[in-house]
Structures are given as C-alpha cells and as structure tokens.
Chains A and B, each alone.
Chain A
Amino acid sequence: MSTQIPKQTEKADETAAETETDAPSKGDERRAEKRRRADERRRQRETEEAERAAADENTVELRVFRYDPDVEGKQEPRFDTFHVPFTKGMTVLDALMYARDSYDSSLTFRHSCRQAVCGSDAMFVNGGQKLACKTQIDELEEPIRVEPLPHAEVTKDLVVDMEHFYDQMEAVEPYFQTNEYPDGELEEQRQTRENREKIKMSTRCIWCSACMSSCNIAAGDNEYLGPAAINKAYRFAMDEREGEDVKQKRLEIIEQEHGVWRCQTQFSCTEVCPKDIPLTEHIQELKREAVKNNLKFW
C-alpha cells in the first residue's frame, strides 16, 4: 500500500496539535478537520482499491506524483498509489486515464491525441522520459512510478510549465526563409529527394520536451538552446531550398554562446526521443558545419 498515507495523517495531526497550543482559530480547526477527512477518504479509497486489487490478480500498481499549489494537503509533493485493472495493450496513459476517471478526477496530466503526435504527455516513467501514450504497461517493472518531467517547474501533478521550452524553440527563427521563389504562379521550389531525406528525421519533432528534460546541460544552463531547438535549426539549415545567405544566418544563431558548443554529447536526448530523431548526430553535424564555415575565412 501507499507509503505516504501514515505520513500524511501524522501531518494532519501535527497541524491540529499545533493549532491547539497557540489558541486555534476556528478556520484552522476547520481546515485541519477538512484535511483529516480528505485523508480519511483517500485512505478508504486506497483500501478499497487494494482489496479490489487483491481480488483480481490482474491489476497494475501505479505510484503517481501529486502536487497542487492551490489545494491544501497537496502543497507538499507526495505519491499516490492507484491499482488499475490491466488490459492487453494498455499504455501508461490508458492507466492514468482510468485512474482519473474511476478513482480521482483531480489527477491531472496533459494528453490529447493518444497516438504520439501531439507531444502533450511526456513524463518521467520509472526513471526515464517517456511519452505515456506510447509506453506499454507490460514492458515496465511494477510498481510503475510516474512523475512530471525533471528539470522543469511543476505546475500541478504531472503537468509542467512548458513556457521555457517554447521560448527556446522559438529562439532559433523556426520558420522557412528564402529570398527567391520560382517565377511561375503554381511553381513549387525544387528539392532533391536526397535533401528531403536528409532533413526528414529532423522534421518529425513533436515538441514533447523529453530531450530537453533528459539533458544535464540544459538542466544546468537555462539559456542553452537544447537539443530540440538545435534540431529545429538543423531542419532549416540543412534545407537546400533556403539558400546560402540564410544558412550563414542560421549558423550564426546556433553558434551563439548558449548554442551548439554547450552540447557535451551526452546522448540522453537521442535515447529518449520518442520520434527516434538522431539529435546528437544533428548537433554534431552543426558543430562541424560551423567550424568548416569559419575556417573558410581564416
């Protein structure tokens, strides 16, 4: 059973005791009482779940990180345990949705597409950055621990603040730029198959931020562009449709103080990317590209 329960109760008692000594206000008492009742309810729910789990062998145990700055009793981060009936093909996201819809509707996480294209549900599952919807339960060791992405500010439960990640993505001028378009009205720009192949993997990024969360350098240096943004820059720098002058500009962007040189080839970004983008390879190629480009003028 969940290890947090006794601790939580202790806490509630403590606060109650405290308030007694220094002339409790009615509000404090009420709040303490409320908290106690909430704990009670949770304990009861968890016992029920555990019983159900015992009755039915086929359940999975999930330990989920909980935190909410707004709700008393959740301000102190803790883990809640859920027992979810296992069905074949179940993903971590399915399990979380089940837990939310059946046990605790305040369990909060981002999700939308359920098919690894929206990039909403990157989380820290059993110690690794994973897309919850793309992670099969039966490939994980139990109990399954689900936490929000490390190195990011937690908004609530499994939701982290993505603003910083978006800023980095948008810092590399992530839009196509060129000075020449073909003449004809319905003329497309030509691009060789090889060139499209070269940028193909880099265009698959779904902005999930798993890579950024896994990179120790990004954790230490908030200004580091990070693997995803550099990959985005790669996507354009290597696109032959953009032309030479634009490429020069692109290289200047990625060469800035907190750009490619920060990368220490840790490879963890490449390991966790749910879209299998060879991030380290792209970063390294840009470093070489930058050096080559600069050597020309030496």
Chain B
Amino acid sequence: MSQSYNRGLIEDFSRWREFEAGMWAWIFHKFTGWVLIGYLFTHIAVLSTAIPASGAETAVLQAGNDVYTQTIVSLEGLLLVRILEVGLLAVAVFHMLNGARLLLVDLGVGLESQDKSFYASLILTGAITVASVPTFIAGAF
C-alpha cells in the first residue's frame, strides 16, 4: 500500500483546503451511492411486508388495516422518517445530477466546465430539496 508519513493532525487536515471540485464531487458521489444502495435494501425490506399483507381479507385491505399499510402509515407518521426522506431525496437528486454529469464526462462532453457542472448539481440539488419540503412534510403534523 501507499505510504506517507504522519505529518500531524493540522497538516493532514489542511490537505482538504485544496480539494478541487472534481474531488468533492467524487466523494459526494461515493457517499450518496452508498446511501442509496443501503436504502434500497431497507426499502425492499419494508416493502416485503406486502407479502404477508396480500394474504389478508379484502375488507381488511380496504380499511387499510393490513400489515403493509399499517407499517407504512406508522412510519410515515413519524416526523423523523419524513425528515430522513427529505434527506434521501437530496441524496438521490445529487447522485442523479452528478451521475448525469459523470455520464457526460465519460462521453467527453464539457470536460472544461466539469467544476461548474458540479457546482450546478449542488445548487440544483439544494433548490429541488427545499422546494419539495412542503410536499414531503405534508400531513406529518
């Protein structure tokens, strides 16, 4: 493995000062990707409650008293879950936008403005997240 001498905490930390756009983008993309795959597993786990639910009576289903609907409703009733969902949206939106940026980079499009497109992804992510807060929080109180 690569070697480097310990240059003390402050010195190490200062390396981050000159992290360029591309590197931040890489780190964020990594982070968001991991969150997304992690979520995919939980998501499917939660959704699988639909399997026992499908055995329920039609009336129960209609009343929304089945396991699946109950689970979802109780989860969605928690403010924390709602907030996490906003977070998830932010993560997903960033990963999508930056992913689109990376696809363009792979096609050799806009390499000179790679830093600008990264900043644009960040700003757009922020805007979309903020704009969707009302929809996401609706009904939580």
Contacts and interface: CB of A to CB of B under 8 A. Distances in A.
Interface string A138-175: 00000001010011111000000000000000000000
Interface in A216-272: 216, 218-220, 222, 264-268, 270-271
B107 A267 contact: no
Contacts of A288: 106-108
Given A65-B7, A287-B106, A266 B23 contact: yes
A265 B23 contact: no
A285 interface: yes
Contact of B6 (A77, A127, A280): A77
A265 B106 contact: yes
A150 B15 contact: yes
B22 to A, nearest CB: 3
A207 interface: no
Contacts of B86: none
- Give the size category of A's interface with B: 20 to 34
Nearest to B19: A268
A7 B21 CA distance: 37
A67 interface: yes
Contacts of B105: 265, 280, 284
Interface in B1-29: 1-8, 11, 14-23, 25-26
A278 B22 contact: no
B15 A127 contact: yes
Contacts of A216: 23, 26
A281 interface: yes
Contacts of B21: 267
B35 interface: no
A139 B66 CA distance: 68
Contacts of A265: 22, 26, 102, 105-106, 114
Contact of B17 (A127, A222, A264): A127
A288 B106 CA distance: 8
Contact of B5 (A67, A145, A268, A285): A67
B4 A150 contact: yes
B52 to A, nearest CB: 42
Nearest to B16: A127
A8 to B, nearest CB: 13
B1 A222 contact: yes
B108 A264 contact: no
B100 interface: no
Contact of A266 (B6, B15, B16, B22): B22
Interface in B95-113: 102, 105-108, 111
